[in-house]
Structure formats: C-alpha cells, structure tokens
Structure 1
Amino acid sequence: MATPRAYWKGSLKLSLVTCPVALYPASTSVEKTRFHMINAETGNRLKQQMVDKETGDVVKKDQKARGYEISKGKFIEIEKDELDAVQIESTHTIEIDSFVPADEIEKRYLNHPYYIVPDGKAGVDAFAVIRDAMKDKDRVALARIVLTNREHVIAIEPFGKGLLGTTLRYPYELRDADDYFDGIKNPKISKDMIELASHILDSKAAHFDPSKFKDDYETALKALVKRKAAGKPLKIAEPEEKSDNVISLMDALKQSLKGGKGSKADAAAPRRAQPARRGRAAKAQRAPARRRKAS
C-alpha cells in the first residue's frame, strides 16, 4: 500500500523536547457511494458557478473575495494579507500545554481524529519518549494546532506505536444541553419496570466491536448502482406494514425480555396481532371462492 500524503507537517513540542511529526486523517469517506449532479437530457456532469446575488452576473475567480457581514446585507472585505498578518505561532508547531485524565474529556467535544507519526528518523527518539511518558502516566495531552487557517485544541494520546490526535470543539461550538433537556418530564417509573429493562440490557450485553458495524444503506446503494449499470431491472421493496396496536410499556418490556435477542418486530408488536393477520389472509382466500360459487 502506498503511503498517503501527510495532511499536516510540523513539530511536536513538550517543553524543550521537540520532534518533527506528520498528521494523517484517521478517517476517510473515499469508500462511500457519492453522486454527481448531471444534465438529465445529455448525461453530462454539471458545474457550479458563483453568481452575484443582486445582479445575477457570474463572478469570475479573480473577482471572488472574503467578506464579513457586519449588518444585514452589508459586508466588509478581508484581504488575504490581512489574514496572514494574524497567523499565530502554532502554525507549524503542536505545543503541549497540559496533561489531563482521559475520562475528563466529554465525548461531545471530540471532533476529527488524526494519526501522528514521526517525520523522518531524526525525531524518533524524542517521539518515543513523549509517547511512552504518556503511557506511564495514563494521561492525554492537550495542545494547539493550526489546520486550514484555524487554531484547534487537539487531544493527543498513545495509540499503538504512534499517537492519536483528536481535535476538540470549542465551547461556543456546542449547544447548551439545558435548552433541549429542561422540558423532559420526570415520570414516576415503577421498580419492576426498571428491573425488567435492566434484564433486557443484560441479555444484550456485548463488547465494542466495530467490525460488526454494517452500513445497510451504503450496501443497498452499491447494489442499486451495480444493477443499474448492468441494465438489470430494479427491485423495489414494499414498505413494511406498521402495527397500529397500542401496547403498554410494561407489556413491551415483558415481551422484549421474553424475546431475548429476537427481532425488533417481535418486541414491538403484541402476540395477539398475529391471528388478525391470519384472519385477513383467510378472508382474502375465501373471497374468490364466494365469487365462483355465485357464478
């Protein structure tokens, strides 16, 4: 496998210890099925154009600029050299500011993961010292890094022979949970219900295994594209009928526990609904017989 191109190169700095490192994105969307906009009449791909909102004129590349909206419809232009003037020191350096316990980092702050590796042989020793020291202390380093002209806080932790860096969101990027959770009521739930739910949780206990993650929609998309490209007829699946039966929470818990690891449908629909479906099927079979008898 060819070595991918580094997303970022610079130095990892811990006090006076510095080593050259490279960052590589730990995630990718290359394998995802993507569609392009095309002209339905010609089959040709479409391209987007920037258009002046007021005049409707197409704007050429050399006419484009960055602007900040200071009031409704009023912008001030920010020049490239003005942006360059506010570049910060961490542009080419990941400077570690502190070390924190891993369990203190809230999951909602986690953003994009990157693999951090030594860049060349010169800094391998320093890299290993920083990595192994973190292993011994079981701590996560918090540092600053500039990616795509923005400064990010990045959490760095040992990961195999390398380091895993995960950019963190700033507090202003997160919505206040109270705005969403304050309206949730606190109903009185019986102890029996909690115990039943706990038993269901125990019956589905497992270990985290991402190899079992299945993207059913992506699989269906690939199958759709393959059949379409081969000129084969498409199979349109009929939507599943949803049961209109109302079931109490206690009954749902009991049936879920009885079903163990059964299908979702078994847990959601009560048993008494099945005879009704058989009744409809029998009625449908009798109808042609009545018509034949009448004729």
Structure 2
Amino acid sequence: MFRGQPSDKYKLTPSVCRRGTGSFAYGSPRRVFDASTAGQVAFELEILRRFLIGCDRSGLNVPGYTEQLSGTLADGWGSFQSPHIPWPSTQLYEIMAVAQHYDVPTRLLDWTERSFVACYFAASSANLEIDCREMPRLAIWALDTTSAIHWKTVKVIRTPGGTSKNQAAQSGLFTTHEVKGYNPDDLYQVEALEDVEEIYSTTGSHTPIVKMTLPVEEAPALLDLCSRLGVDGSTLFPGFHGVAKSVKDWANIEVGVRPSQSLIQEYNEDGYDPDFH
C-alpha cells in the first residue's frame, strides 16, 4: 500500500501524535503538563468525544457509532482508558476513519492501495511557491503488508466502503500504532512507522518500507499524469468540493512552481538570478 506526503522530511507519524509548533492543540495544558501515555490516550479520547457530541448536535449519522457506544460515551469512556486494553479499540475504528476524513486528528495514518492516488496526494499538497534555494522534494511511501498479520503494534485497518465515500473513491485504508500494557505514569514516546522495529523483523531479507522522492518542481507534471489516468480531485473527492479541487489542480499545472516574493528579494539582494530551476 502507498502514502503520498508533500515533503520528504515528514515522518510517518499519525497527526494526533505529533508534537511541537504547529501540531494540533499545541500549547494546551493537556499536552504541556501531561506527557504520559495515559494522558495521550485521554487526549485522543477527548477529541473523539467532542467530535461525536458535535455530530449528535448536528443530527449527523456516524458509521460505527452504536447505541452501546453512545451509552459508554455518556459514562465518560473510562473503559477505553485501561492500560490493559489495547488503544485504540477496534470498536472505534470506523468512527476514527470518519473523523480522519474530516481533518480531525486521530491515531490513524492514511494509505491507499493505488500508487497513483498516493502520487496525487503528494503532488497536490506540495507547496509550489518555493521559499528556499534548495529545491524541496515530495515523497511517496510504499509499505509491504505481507507480514502484517505478525505485527503486534502496527495494525492495518480496512473499514467498510460505506464509512466514507471519499475513502471508497481513494481505495483508502489505514495503519495505527497500538498502545497497551503501559504504566499510568509512563512517558509517551512518539514513534514514526518507519522506525517501528517489528515491521522489519518479520519480513526476512527484503525491506518492507520504501520511500521514493521527487523534486517539487516535478509536482505539476505528476499532477498532469495523474489526471490523464483519471486520478484527480473530482474522482477522489466525489462532489462539488472535489470538482473545485480539480480546477485548482489544473491551475497549478498551468502555472507550475514559482519562487516566493521573499526568495526573489533574497536573490536580488545577493545579486543572483531568481530563475532557480
């Protein structure tokens, strides 16, 4: 399976696990004063709880959100916070998938079974306004899941196509990092997927994960190739939003990469030619 990212410097870390400037809820007391594993699980549960409360208030149906789970939510979801029960619970996979597709940070990492879908996401999300002299690179990851059945921490998740029409259109699936068997005061350690030892120890001699990179200046051409194969915003995001996205992608193909005003000014001050290609 495949994943596209706009920068080759990004690691395979689920959005809710990222820390530092720019991360979700950066500066929140929940994150500043509680760096424990138990605190991280509680933080993720609170995000899901608030997502579901909002959906209830809006009258939105969430796949996987059963009456039983609704009752558990009313009781505070304490049963999901036991260090002896793997987190996240399989009962929450569908809910997390829906939240993920609406940009709510979760422990899920998006993947696709189609390589060109990953190429599209890498190219369409790359910043085409270059603000440094060294050309940045986008990345496509490929993960061999042949031995996934033997993995203890990393789980591959396939939710029903009805969970999200976007997920179905994108041939989407997920990985997640399970947390279990921790002491309440254990310091939570963020571990990127490519750094998880178990995915290497069960595959024999071949490398189970590969990162391919491409200069961002090639992103418009990659978008064009994807479009010729029927992979664009209108097919991956069924609806008006996706069609609008495909028009924006077309404009990026037309314009291509360009230097930012700050980079042009820097070149001018140094007496360099601003044509950096």
What's the TM-score, normalizing by structure 2? 0.18
Tell me which protein shows more helix as a share of its residues: 2
Tell me which protein shows more strand as a share of its residues: 1
User: Quick one: higher RCO (CA 8 Å, sep 6+), 1 or 2?
Assistant: 2
Larger Rg: 1
